[in-house]
Amino acid sequence: MLTAAEKKQYSRHLILDQIGEEGQKKLKKAKVLVIGAGGLGCPVLQYLTAAGVGTIGIIDNDVVDQSNLQRQILYTVADIGKSKAVTAANRLQKLNPFVSFTVYEEMLTVANAISLFEQYDIIVDGSDNFATRYLSNDASVLTKKPLIYGAIFKFEGQVSVFNYGDSASYRCLYPTPPKPEESPNCSEIGVLGVLPGIIGSLQANETIKLICGIGEVLADKLLIYDTLRMQQMVLKYQKTMAAEVTVLQDDYVLFCGTKVLADEMELEAIQEELSAYNLLDVRELWEREEHHIGGQHIPLGTLMHRIEEVDTSKATMVVYCKSGMRSARAIEILKEAYPSISFINVKGGLG
């Protein structure tokens, strides 16, 4: 039942023929897990909370950074350094006291994904990396939970609904992950601040439609939204038996090619003895022109073709980029060409 206060809170839903009191009761009964309280997670959480989804889980082990404030609209300068999941839940509770929040200050992992997903009706993926997307997909398939997918890249976003009934999964659309150098995250290439707001709102919309049983769900369809041209298109795709999931993989980071397979050192420690290493910067030229710590410069995209140019005059080479992802991929390439050289990845990159 809805209380008098809830009826007032949701009055604009109640007068919609497609939702009404029955639809609002479905929202109140629903349990939704949101993966990530960042760019996509913030609008998803805001609109699901405002809509009256009864139980919302938030899983995120990150803290608020000042660079987040350009797009992660649940936070303020006063929240810098605080847990995103906790801060989001506290603020959202003020928006709607009728919603119950469960906070998980941890990463989604192979160890916890199945047990977490089993507690919820719908999973919304607001993550920003391929390892979590593949893990979320596989866990949702195994637990038979619909997965609301969203992704952003510079000025463009994508939305789809996976595992809805007998619909296709993420692996049907993307059977294999792209190479790390082909898929940098927003900390490396930037993102338009309003884009996650648009895509996250569309994810929330799909979630509400699914809960209330209204409209046409984006199952077996991928919506692509271009903010620069203000255009969108919907592509159809099909379920494939090759994408069938029977168990979780042991290591999704390794599967996506982003696992660091070399020694890591903090930048400060490396700078104390720079003369002991050959340095290789695998960022783009414009990044190097802004700041660098010296050494040779060969962008990752050209490394395979310029492998013979690499300076191997010293026994140890330090490879660096902005976040540590491109340098990890570069080290994989370099190890094959120069097995006798020891490689060090700058932990976290230059930041």
Q: What are the structure tokens assigned to 254, written together? A: 């390794």
332, 261 contact by CB (below 8 A): yes
Q: Which of 42, 172, 186, 256 is catalytic?
A: 186
Please indicate whether residue 212 is annotated as part of the active site: no
Quote the strand ranges of 92-211, DSSP E.
100-104, 122-125, 147-153, 156-162
Query: Any idea what the Cα angle at residue 72 is, between residues 69 and 75, rounded to 5°?
Result: 70
Please indicate whether residue 256 is annotated as part of the active site: no
Q: 3-state class of 1 per DSSP? A: coil
Give CA torsion, residues 56, 136, 207, 88, to 10 deg.
40
The values of phi and psi at residue 234, to 5°, are -120, 120
302, 328 contact by CB (below 8 A): no
DSSP string, 258-302: -S--SEEE-HHHHHTTGGGSEEEE-S-HHHHHH----SEE--HHH
Q: What are the structure tokens assigned to 122, written together? A: 């719908």
> Could you tell me which of 217, 209, 218, 216 has the C-alpha nearest to residue 23?
209
> Could you tell me which of 321, 343, 347 has the C-alpha nearest to residue 333?
343
Long-range contacts of 15-23 (CB under 8 A, 24+ apart): 18/212, 18/214, 18/215, 19/212, 19/214, 23/212, 23/213, 23/214
Q: Which of 172, 212, 256, 321 is catalytic?
A: 321
Give CA torsion, residues 35, 88, 38, 244, to 10 deg.
10
Catalytic residues: 186, 321
